[in-house]
Structure 1
């Protein structure tokens, strides 16, 4: 029998259980903001409150606190971008979002996303994750046409970074990287990350083994390594890279940059 899900966004009168989904969202949000203290500041609650939830000392969240502070803050980090639970454990009349009751409380079908916003590496170095989302920042600071497409399935939370002269790389200028905001880096995956000490943005292999984090920058022998518990001391942000696009159907790779076909070159493209 298939399961039916309802949104849990109206719980002022009853306590919310601290579910595994909520704990997972707290971990995701903590990684995103840097640490538990910064997450607590963003939510407007004491960091000890979050520690009690994570340790199991407190197993419930008051409905009022959930509605007024927690839900919106954790919403981007919940499964599917919004928190929902099985109908068996809920009273549907209490938990459906008002404007969606005509849709029987079911999550709306997401509209296909054909392109994502794109910004340049140099501009994105100014991005502050404590102030706004990277997608919002990219929309305000577009690169070239402002959007780009990719082969894989896209989501509203994704954005792209375009390679420019601010980053030394094996990839030509104009290469675009599909960045998955709100998702965890996977062991042995590719990530985009901003180093806290230097402020440099790197594209690197990500490894997490024995509570150690290692970033091996692509195309170089440079490796950064530290204990996982010191992530916030070493990284400003880190996001998975889902796709790297070098469009050779509309460009030529000349002098380590992508040159549109319509541009005339004074020099030949090969020696």
Structure 2
């Protein structure tokens, strides 16, 4: 918002930012509050769907699932960011799900994977209960972006593939979070990816099967490699989850 204001304070681009201020800034009793994300709507919704479907209560919660299904479908990012992605060093985003809403627009690998898992689960239920399934091409778009986020080590990043050097962390301006300047492979993103791709290939066995199998195999080896001696894994807590 500040950038477009500097370019032209009367521009349409700046004016479009103004209504969204309230997504991130508000006044409370003890002063100004700010959040880095406009909510956790998609994340909360897909796990509610997972829970309901896991105990076979789709008919009893049909209306809830139908509303959740519509939200999931309308929350998928349908286009990449405008302009030359290479010039701006932006990763693709078409087909992704975010932590919150499509308007928020930040691709997250595990949100995309969990969104895909929920969409696949709902596609198995009759449309009379949960509504029409998501279009197949949009499922393909989700798979495409999940595959694009796998790193050379077999792990999966949160936002974009690891594409620079860890020494850039010396530029980290925060006082509370480490390792945020570039993206890394994370256990929870990798785990969600394996689960989503495994579910997908059961329903669509002919779509990019070799690439999907390769991703699952490499990601599995990554998880085995980083497991601690006590059998546990260290999971990332992304800043906006706190």
Question: Aligning the two structures, in what range does the TM-score lie when normalised by the shorter sequence?
Answer: under 0.3
Q: What's the TM-score once normalised by structure 2's chain length?
A: 0.25
Q: What's the TM-score once normalised by structure 1's chain length?
A: 0.23
Relative to its length, the structure with more helix (as a share) is: 2
Task: Compare CA radii of gyration and give the structure with the larger one.
Answer: 1
